[in-house]
Structure 1
Amino acid sequence: MAGESPDRAEQQGSSEGRTPSVSSTVASSESPAPAVPAPAPVDQPTAVFKTLAPRVPEDHAAEESIPETEAETAPEAKAASEADADVAAAPEGDRLKQAVAAWVATASKGGEAAEASAEAEESASAPSGAEEPSEAADVAGAAEAADEPVEAPGAAPRVPKAEAPSWFAKKPAEPEAQAFGSAPATSGAAGPEASKPAPAAPEAPKPDAPTSDAPTSDAPKADAPKAEVPKPASPEPGAPKAAVAKPVASEGPVDQPTTMFRAVRPPVVDQPTTALKLPRDVPGLGSDSERTSTFVPLRPDVPAEQKAEKPQAAATSKPQPKAQAPAPAPAPAPTPALAEAERTRQQPLPPLPPLDLLAELTNTPPPPPNAWRTTLRRFRIWTPLVLLLLIVFAIVQMARPLPAPALKLSGPPTYTFAGGPLKMPWPGEGQGAVEVEGVGSMGTYGAQKPAPIASVTKTMTAYVILRDHPLKGKQKGPEITVDQKAADQAKAAHESTAPVKKGQVYTEKELLQLLMIPSANNVARLLARWDAGSEQAFVDKMNAAAKELGMTQSRYTDPSGLLDSTISTPQDQLKLAKAVMKFDVFREIVDMPNATIEGVGYIENNNSRLLLKAGVTGIKTGSSTPAGGNLLWSANTVVDGRIHRVLGIVMGAQNAATLNKKLELSLDYSYELIKKAQDDVTSAAVVKKGQVVGYVDDGLGGQTPVVATKEIKAVGWPGLKVEVELTDGGKSVPHSGRAGDVVGTVSIGEGAGRISAPVALKSDLVEPGFDKKLTRVG
């Protein structure tokens, strides 16, 4: 039966199967009756386990709108309900006896029914606090009944009990009259109306009752309709007494299908704070997994006086309604799923600002916002962050390494000599160039293209011999024997030669004199064969040396220069002149106007006329029909007590009738250039002692001046620009120092003519301060 505990459902099924024998026993105790055949045993339906549907707000409205006629149910039903409550709380044997006694009392005493009805009304109008003990008793009885074992088929019959509020869904209850079969007990106390069954009006089914673990205080005590046992009508006067039919015992016990349910003992929970729970799948709700709950307020507490007055007024104003036929059983409520935890639709609020949260915690409302408060709040928030960033920035700046100090010029990087541009007496033909060794070029003229150089080629021959066989001081070098080929070439008529004979022995220096002073071609070939083994091998060495000196536009084809295929340019020949003039023996030989060689006699230089001039020191003449007159010359000039070498060359002098005249013309052109160079080469004080030439830059904006420790005079000529350079002298500049400490050098010029002087600090050099370290960006 729906809504009952498992043991009650079992007792109901057992009672329905055994009630005829109980009724017959009761009937026989009052008056005899003829035996009536008992109905065949019928297989009664077993109880169905169902859960209650969840409660909704409409249930409370329905409970408040229950007709007052429900409260005024038949006295017999009320009495039977009270009796069932007592039976549930008593032991099994006592409960059966009490149930039979209550049923007999109900059938025999009609006057007591009115009192029972009145008592039921009083109990219905009692406060909710008084109802709770009764409900607790029902729960305890149901729990005890669930714990008891199922009766055996031969056990004593039980009387069906009235239904109590259950934890499960309701099942339509059958009238109790059917449970007792066709053997109603007779009673003389019942009136004519009492013979008709008058069950109490059944309540409307509540499919939405809550499925909480404990019943609430507002749940009705009897939800299922109850049917009274039908009473036989009293006999009319004068009529013969009808014998009461006495049921005949059944042929044998029938095994009725039973179902045993063991109810879960509900925990005792504080009723007003019980949380409502919804099943997972409730008809009418959405099918999504996220379930929400609807808040249902609790009923207000009504004073006990008001609850008592209302039922009493209803009982006095309205007559007791007649028993009505039982209403059709309501359809069983759908079985809800198991309940889950309560959920809510309310979304979490976003976090409050710090000031608002503090105001809420201290119950102090936040001040009204305005521009001043907003600015102050932002200042308080951002100021610590900015200070922290500044501290980190300062630490990083202080920890960074200092940049390396550097020397920088404070003046222009060049110095130009006064006097305007230099005007040199350049020849009107051929090509040439003039250069002051260590200072720079005084200028060039002509095409500056490769051309035959005739006997000027012997300068490269002497360079290779001295490079491979150098002579120092008074050394004369190894002895060399004249071979037959050199003796034969000495007799040539159309070239310059030296009268050597086969078998003669000459030193290296003597042969170099014969090579450079009279320009002997046969001696040039003899030295080539002596040095390299063959003339061609020596020529290869000559070209390799030219390449090493950077003579990119020169090509040598023979050691003497007789062939016009040996070509060069003025700039290439000046490079060779600077290299070969480094040998002391070579400078001594080319500066000799004449010489006497043993075995050869007196020899005279071809440019002896020019060598007799002041300051002229060589170097080599060369003439041929294709080459014309050529002279590679060297001269000295004294500037401030120092000798400076001036090198020059004149190539391609052709404005003469004979070859000797062409050579003399080249000498004249060269001497004019020598005189102009000796006159115009001068010196100037580019840097004076104590002059500030630059400063030490510490890399952070600090500058400490430096001064020259002595005067520097540069050699040059009018219009010449010389480079001024301030360097550290190969040492790193310190971060700090005292005044007078040498920190570098200042230099003027380049190459051999480069002049330098040390520079020192004019004031103390100190490291950059905290402010500079902090504010540096790069």
Structure 2
Amino acid sequence: MLKLGDAAKGTAKKGAPKPEADAERTSKFVALKPLDEPKAGPEAGPKAGPKGASAAEPKGSATKVSQAKAAPAGPAVPPPVEPTTQQPLPPKPPIDLLAELTNTPPPPETPVRTAVRRVKIWTPLVLLLLVVFAVVQVVRPLPTPTLQLTAQETVKFEGGKPDVPWPADGQAAMDVNGIGTFGTSGEQKPVPIASIAKVMTVYLILRDHPLEKGKEGPKIPVDAAAQKHYETGKPANESVVKVTEGQKITEYEALQAVMLPSANNIAKLLARWDTKSGSEDAFVEKMNKTAKELGMKNTHYTDPSGLDKTTVSTAEDLVKLGRAAMENPVFNEISRQPSYMDLNNEKQTNFFKLVPTVAIGIKTGTTTAAGGNILFAAEKKVGGETQTIIGAALGQYGSNGVANIDKVTDVTKNLIAAGQDALKAKTIVKKGDVVGQVDDGLGGTTPVVATKDVSAVGWSGLTVKLELDEMKGKTIPNTAKAGTEVGVLHVGDGKGDAVEVPVALQKDLSEPGFGAKLTRVG
């Protein structure tokens, strides 16, 4: 406005700079109000005559300048401003911020650029996860190796089944210890077994009061009940041996008295001695509990001697008991004895007359209610090893219907002969044959071989089973040298004890490789 006023007056000072051209200006003045807007007040500004106007000023400009000068002095009041509310701006992507800082606009978004950006972001995370996964897989505990049978699971002996002379009456059963069963005859229902019950009595005494071979064991005081039982039983033709109260009988001799002359009074004495409380009933409870443990499902005892007709069992059950009893070396030794001298220096003979010529034991039992009964054991050497035949014949009576020990003895003799004739050996596996493998649990296997020949003993028509198990009390290691025994091969019918042969690693057992560890699942 000053420049405009100077021009209106036409007063140009000497030496003053010339007005700036538009091109030389660095800024432009913007008036708050138009310059030609009329001002309020009586005076429009200083008067200018015709001579005071600048020649360069357009016509009418003097009036406008004078009007401007006539405006009252004072601060200019700006026009009212409409209030606004500042809204927060949304966050911008890093690439947009970078573009603003560099004054470079972001590149346009395309599917390719999006994919590349995602790859750059996720690739390091994925690689990190893969590394962590690999480390975890490698350091995880290895699974426990297991044994697997690769040989044939069953082997059958050629030919038809042998002809076994089973008794026409009563019931019978026979098998070869650890090999298989010849079968049974008659209905396997519980029947009185008489003195064969004493086998369980002797078995329990030796189990709970074991003896070393050649040792007599503790001395057992003879009580008044044992003496009285002898005094009343002898006239009644009961199986008893003479003892007097106050005497002491060794455990070994007491067992002989029960097994050979079948002394009822000593069987009861042992029952009272075992329980310490003098209770025969407590001992009977133990007999029944043990019968269940041996799998004798149809057996029940009511007395330790078998004199009660309520003490019952089956031929099949008694074979199980005979097998377990004959495994005890002291029981086996006593069972083979034909006689002994008692503490009164009297000779006591074995009622089982086939011992020791035909049989090696076990026990006879005869009562009116039970008939003639024998639980027997016999042997035969087959394939270089001795095999034990266990059998039982129950409920044998003579032609007059009276219990007959001679008849059951003949039945037993025929069964033993047939069983011995039928036995033959068959080589199932040879030493060094691969019979299985160790599976490391991650896809790797190592073969195992038999450490010696496996000759199964059986008879025509018998099928034997092969099973491979780990060694008792041991687990298969993850690494081992060739020749290390890692399991046992069982050969039998699966019902009783079987022939057992250790198996060993054919080559070194190594840990699974890195790839197997890395790719394992579960």
Q: Give TM-score, length-normalised by structure 2.
A: 0.71
Q: Which residue of 1 aligns with 2:156?
A: 417
Q: State the alpha-carbon separation in 2 of the partners of residues 358 and 707 from structure 1.
A: 76
Question: Offset of 1:115 from its aligned partner?
Answer: 7.6
Structure 2 letter corresponding to 1:776 = R
Q: 1:489 aligns with which of 208, 232, 235?
A: 232
Q: Match of 1:611, SS?
A: coil
Q: Deviations over 1:92-122 (max 9, x none)?
A: xxxxxxxxxxxxxxxxxxxx79789989964
1:759 positional shift: 1.1
Aligned to 2:311: 566
SS across alignment from 2:380: strand
Alignment equivalent of 1:396, drawn from 118, 129, 133: 133
Contact 1:431 1:650 in 2 (8 A): yes
Q: Which residue in the other structure is 1:668 paired with?
A: 410
- After superposition, the Cα gap between the structure-2 partners of 1:659 and 1:521, relative to the gap in structure 1 and judged at 3 Å, is farther
- Compute the displacement of 1:547 (Å): 1.0
TM-aligned CA deviation for residue 760 of structure 1: 1.9
Work out the CA distance in 2 between the residues paired with 1:442 and 1:601: 41
Which residue is equivalent to 2:171?
Answer: 431
Q: Does 1:689 align with 2:407?
A: no
Higher relative contact order (CA 8 A, sep 6+): 2
The two structures, once aligned, show a CA RMSD in angstroms of 4.7
Residue of structure 1 in register with 2:79 after alignment: 210
CA shift, 1:521, in A, is: 3.5
In 1: Cα distance, 2:421 partner to 2:349 partner: 29
Partner of 1:462: 202
Question: Residues 122 and 714 of structure 1: is their aligned pair in 2 closer, same or farther, counting only changes over 3 Å?
Answer: same
Where in structure 2 are there 5+ consecutive unaligned residues? Answer: 1-31
Query: Among residues 552, 557, 578, which one is paired with 2:323 in the alignment?
Result: 578
Contact kept in structure 1, 2:145 and 2:440, CA below 8 Å: yes
Preserved CA contact (<8 Å) 1:78 1:116: no
More helix by share: 1
Alignment of 1:625-644 (within 5 A): 625-644=368-387
Q: Classify 1:444/1:164 alpha carbon distance in 2 versus 1 (closer, same or farther; 3 Å).
A: farther
- Report the 3-state secondary structure (helix = DSSP H, G, I; strand = E; otherwise coil) of the residue aligned with 2:279: helix
How far 1:768 sits from its partner (Å)? Answer: 0.6
CA contact (8 A) 1:417 1:719 kept: yes
- CA deviations 1:674-710 (Å, max 9, x no partner) are 2333234444433322222333434333333343443
Give the direction of change, closer, same or farther, for the CA distance of 1:598–1:501 in structure 2 (3 Å limit). Answer: closer
Superposed displacement of residue 497, structure 1? 4.3
Match of 1:278 among 77, 82, 98: 82
Map residues 729-744 of structure 1 onto 2, 5 A cutoff: 733=476, 735=478, 740-742=482-484, 744=486
Measured in 1, the distance between the counterparts of 2:105 and 2:307 equals 118
Which runs of structure 2 are paired with 1:411-560 in the superposition (5 Å)?
411-412=150-151, 414-419=153-158, 422-423=161-162, 424-467=164-207, 471-476=211-216, 478=219, 484-493=227-236, 495-498=238-241, 500=242, 507-508=249-250, 509-525=252-268, 537-549=279-291, 550=293, 551=296, 553-560=298-305
User: What amino acid maps onto 2:396 in structure 1?
Assistant: A
Name the structure 2 match of 1:78.
44
Instruction: For 2:286 and 2:450, locate their aligned partners in 1 and report how far apart those are by CA, in whole Å.
Output: 44
Per-residue deviation, residues 580-619 of structure 1 (Å, max 9, x unmatched):
33444443443234556585855544331x33543x1111
The answer to whether residue 393 in structure 2 is matched with residue 650 in structure 1 is yes
* Contact kept in structure 2, 1:707 and 1:762, CA below 8 Å: no
Which structure is higher in strand share? 2
C-alpha spacing 1:553/1:539, structure 2 compared with 1 (3 Å):
farther
- 1:408 aligns with 147
CA distance in 2, matches of 1:481, 1:736: 60
TM-superposed deviation, 1:537: 1.6
Alignment check: 8 A CA contact 2:230 2:240 kept:
no
Change (3 A) 1:431 1:405: same
Distance in 2 (alpha carbons) for counterparts of 1:482 and 1:118: 165
- Which stretch has the larger CA shift, 625-634 or 388-397? 388-397
AA partner of residue 192 (structure 2): P
- Counterpart of 2:363 in structure 1 is 620
Distance 1:729 1:564, change over 3 A: closer
Identify the residue that residue 143 of structure 1 maps to in structure 2.
none
User: Relative to 1, partners in 2 of residues 1:396 and 1:501: Cα closer, same or farther, differing over 3 Å?
Assistant: closer
Number of corresponding residues: 473
Secondary structure in 2 matching 1:648: strand
Q: Kindly state the Cα deviation for residue 763 of structure 1 after the two structures are TM-superposed.
A: 5.7
1:454 is displaced (CA, Å) by: 1.3
Checking the alignment, whether the CA contact within 8 Å between 2:189 and 2:313 is kept in structure 1 is yes
Aligned twin of 1:712 = 454
User: Equivalents in 2 of 1:420, 1:525: separation in Å?
Assistant: 49
CA distance in 2, matches of 1:162, 1:503: 156
Match for 2:115 among 358, 378, 381? 378
SS at match of 1:518: coil
- Pair 397,669 (structure 1): closer, same or farther in 2 beyond 3 Å: farther
Cα distance between partner residues in 2 of 1:278 and 1:427: 126
Is the CA contact (8 Å cut-off) linking 1:413 and 1:724 kept in structure 2?
A: no
Structure 1 residues 690 and 462, CA, compared in 2 at 3 Å: closer, same or farther? closer
Matches within 5 A, 1:749-760: 749=491, 753-760=498-505
- Report deviation, 1:651: 1.9
Report what 2:351 is aligned to.
606
Aligned counterpart, 2:420: 678
Shift of 1:78: 2.8
TM-score relative to the length of structure 1: 0.51
The 8 Å contact of residues 439 and 445 in structure 2, kept in 1 or not, is answered as yes
1:729 and 1:389, CA in 2 relative to 1: closer, same or farther beyond 3 A?
Answer: farther
CA distance in 1, matches of 2:333, 2:485: 42
2:442 corresponds to 1:700 = yes
Q: 2: CA distance between counterparts of 1:650 and 1:414? A: 33
Q: From the superposition, tell whether residues 698 and 389 of structure 1 become closer, same or farther in structure 2 (CA, over 3 Å).
A: farther
* Residue 569 of structure 1, CA deviation: 3.2
Matched-pair contact (CA < 8 Å) for 1:631–1:667: yes
Displacement of 1:734 in angstroms is: 5.0
Whether the 8 Å contact between 2:364 and 2:373 is mirrored in structure 1 is yes
Residues 776 and 350 of structure 1, relative CA distance in 2, 3 Å threshold: same
Confirm or deny: 8 A CA contact 2:393 2:408 kept in the other structure: yes
Note the C-alpha offset of 1:629: 2.0
Q: Structure 1: how far apart are the matches of 2:127 and 2:155?
A: 52
SS at match of 2:360: strand
Mapping 1:92-241, distance limit 5 Å: 122=61, 125=64, 163-164=72-73, 210-211=79-80
Counterparts in 2 of 1:376 and 1:434: CA distance versus 1, 3 Å:
farther
Q: Could you say if the C-alpha distance between residues 65 and 741 of structure 1 is closer, same or farther in structure 2, counting changes exceeding 3 Å?
A: farther
Aligned-partner residue type, residue 312 of structure 2: I
State how far apart, in whole Å, the 2-side matches of 1:603 and 1:749 are.
Answer: 41
- What is the DSSP-based 3-state SS (H/G/I as helix, E as strand, rest coil) of the residue aligned with 1:564? coil
Equivalent pair of 1:653/1:666 in contact (CA under 8 Å): yes
Residues 116 and 643 of structure 1, relative CA distance in 2, 3 Å threshold: farther
